[in-house]
């Protein structure tokens, strides 16, 4: 079982996510630094904690982290900004909190100071973020976590720890860190921050899905759909999209045993996503819209499904299948086959790449 879980982790993280490897960044922090893609500005220090290092986990600054800590690293504030596959703070917070609370090698025990609370990030008009602080035993005396949305598809995550401060004192430091960032004006109406809850229904039993023979028209249309995921909406579209998002939330699936979190929008039983930890990366398994629009005669026999991996900067779409594949089969597809298409997620990069090898 452990070996199987390890293989799953390697398959999901290594092959298609090579760009996720951490690389140090050299920043001039004399006057602070602005992350150009999100507009978020970082100060040169957080109160008495000086900037100490910066890292990017995807080339092109799609996923970066800045750390503030003294030389002895007795205290630390780590701030991440990344382009999320799904900007659902409740889902991402649940993943982060689960990861934190199960780091037994660092925290022998964690005790929350208070229940998870929503907060209003600077530049926004509603409580779209979530936060929590803990008293801990082990390497640190306290630790805290906060996550907030930013813009169309960005997420800001705070991880704060101390060997000397109580959870109450550290919670105040977290408030300082949030307030000291330069948050850009956010024109999006983000949904209220509510942590993802367990689904109240179950996914149907899985049967092995068969790969549909590759078709150039279908692959191109799926690539166009993927490109639409990353399109920058105008202000009129922002309001309409925000209203739509406010009615949709992800719940945590409990019916499928799998090493990574499985989530479903609005308790749906015809689609799911595999959340690759708390990094904002995810695999979407959903009905294939391209097949529906092309009105393929085979489609009438049942719903075809798309497997789509969304990571910072890129959307990759894999072969269409004749039914909803299980998470294990999805892993196998990603591990053993090439994506039929990949599309850039940047405003200045909407390049569509079709893999000729996938059509053999």
Do 164 and 227 lie in a common domain?
no
Any idea what the CATH number is for the domain that residue 52 is in? 3.40.1000
Whether 329 shows a pLDDT value over 60: the answer reads: yes
Which tokens belong to 264?
């479903």
Whether 18 shows a pLDDT value over 50: the answer reads: no
Which tokens belong to 267?
């308790």
pLDDT of residue 1: 35
Do 153 and 221 lie in a common domain?
no
- Comparing 13-22, 34-43, 301-310, the range with the smallest average pLDDT is 13-22
Do 273 and 147 lie in a common domain?
no
Do 69 and 113 lie in a common domain?
yes
Q: Are 318 and 308 in contact (CB under 8 A)?
A: yes
pLDDT of residue 16: 42
Q: Is 354 left (phi over 0), alpha (psi -120 to 50) or beta?
A: beta
Q: Is 191 left (phi over 0), alpha (psi -120 to 50) or beta?
A: beta
How far is Cα 53 from Cα 64, in angstroms, rounded to an integer?
Answer: 11
**Direct distance between the N- and C-terminal alpha carbons of the chain, in angstroms, rounded to an integer:** 34
Do 225 and 327 lie in a common domain?
yes
Per-residue confidence band for 212, with pLDDT thresholds at 50, 70 and 90: confident
DSSP H/E element including 41? strand 40-42
| Residue ranges making up the domain that contains 90 | 20-180
CA angle 210/313/327 to nearest 5° reads 30
- Establish if 204 belongs to a structural domain: no
3-state secondary structure of 230: coil
Do 263 and 152 lie in a common domain?
no
How far is Cα 168 from Cα 129, in angstroms, rounded to an integer?
Answer: 19
How far is Cα 320 from Cα 292, in angstroms, rounded to an integer?
Answer: 12
How far is Cα 133 from Cα 108, in angstroms, rounded to an integer?
Answer: 16
Give Cβ neighbours of residue 352 (< 8 Å, ≥ 6 apart).
220, 223, 224, 227, 341, 342, 343
Q: Which of 180, 196, 228 is the last residue of a domain?
A: 180
- Establish if 321 belongs to a structural domain: yes
**In the chain, % of residues over pLDDT 90:** 61
Whether 9 shows a pLDDT value over 50: the answer reads: no
Domain count, the chain: 2
Higher pLDDT, 358 or 188: 188
The CA-atom distances, in angstroms, between 45 and each of 9, 90, 164, 176, 316 are 36, 29, 19, 11, 38
For 30, which DSSP code? B
- Establish if 341 belongs to a structural domain: yes
Residue entry with tokens 């602080």:
133
3-state secondary structure of 159: strand
Do 223 and 167 lie in a common domain?
no
Do 264 and 171 lie in a common domain?
no
pLDDT of residue 21: 77
Q: Which of 132, 157, 180 is the last residue of a domain?
A: 180
pLDDT of residue 190: 92
- Of how many residues is the chain composed? 360
Closest residue by Cα to residue 161 from 70, 82, 78: 78
pLDDT of residue 245: 42
Residue entry with tokens 């780091």:
103
Mean pLDDT of the chain: 84
Whether 151 shows a pLDDT value over 90: the answer reads: yes
CA angle 347/155/224 to nearest 5° reads 35
Closest residue by Cα to residue 259 from 245, 271, 277, 284: 277
Whether 56 shows a pLDDT value over 90: the answer reads: yes
**In the chain, % of residues over pLDDT 70:** 79
Higher pLDDT, 10 or 176: 176
Whether 71 shows a pLDDT value over 60: the answer reads: yes
Per DSSP, the residues of 259-323 read SSEEEEETT-SS-EEEE-TTSS-EEEEEE-HHHHHHT-GGGGGS--EEEEEEETTEEEE---BSS
How far is Cα 109 from Cα 113, in angstroms, rounded to an integer?
Answer: 13
Whether 336 shows a pLDDT value over 80: the answer reads: yes
Per-residue three-class SS string for 46-104: ECCEEEEEEEEEECCCCEEEEEECCCCCCEEEEEEEEECCCCCHHHHHHHHHHHHHCCC
Q: Which of 157, 180, 203 is the last residue of a domain?
A: 180
Sign of CA dihedral 122, 127, 130, 131: positive
């Amino acid at each position: 079982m452990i070996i199987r879980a390890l293989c799953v982790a390697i398959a999901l993280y290594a092959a298609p996510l090579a760009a996720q490897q951490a690389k140090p960044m050299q920043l001039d922090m004399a006057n602070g630094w602005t992350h150009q893609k999100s507009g978020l500005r970082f100060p040169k220090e957080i109160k008495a904690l000086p900037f100490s290092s910066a890292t990017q986990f995807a080339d092109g600054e799609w996923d970066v982290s800045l750390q503030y800590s003294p030389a002895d690293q007795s205290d630390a504030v780590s701030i991440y900004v990344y382009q999320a596959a799904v900007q659902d703070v409740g889902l991402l917070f649940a993943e982060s909190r689960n990861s934190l609370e199960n780091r037994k090698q660092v925290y022998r025990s964690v005790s929350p100071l208070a229940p998870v609370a929503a907060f209003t990030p600077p530049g926004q008009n509603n409580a779209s973020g979530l936060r929590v602080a803990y008293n801990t035993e082990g390497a640190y005396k306290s630790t805290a976590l906060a996550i907030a949305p930013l813009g169309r598809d960005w997420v800001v995550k705070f991880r704060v720890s101390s060997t000397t401060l109580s959870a109450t004192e550290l919670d105040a430091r977290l408030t300082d860190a949030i307030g000291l960032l330069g948050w850009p004006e956010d024109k999006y109406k983000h949904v209220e921050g509510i942590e993802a809850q367990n689904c109240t229904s179950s996914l149907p039993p899985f049967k092995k899905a068969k790969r549909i023979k590759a078709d150039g028209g279908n692959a191109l249309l799926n690539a166009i759909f993927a490109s639409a995921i990353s399109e920058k909406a105008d202000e009129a579209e922002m309001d309409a999209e925000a209203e739509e998002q406010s009615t949709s939330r992800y719940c945590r699936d409990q019916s499928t045993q799998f090493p990574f979190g499985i989530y479903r929008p609005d308790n749906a039983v015809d689609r799911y996503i595999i959340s690759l930890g708390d990094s904002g990366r995810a695999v979407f398994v959903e009905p294939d819209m391209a097949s529906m629009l092309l009105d393929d005669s085979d489609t009438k026999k049942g719903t075809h499904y798309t497997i789509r991996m969304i990571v910072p900067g890129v959307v990759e779409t894999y072969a269409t299948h004749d039914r909803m594949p299980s998470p294990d089969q999805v892993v196998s597809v990603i591990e053993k086959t090439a994506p039929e298409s990949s599309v850039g997620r940047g405003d200045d990069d909407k390049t569509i790449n079709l893999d000729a090898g996938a059509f053999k």
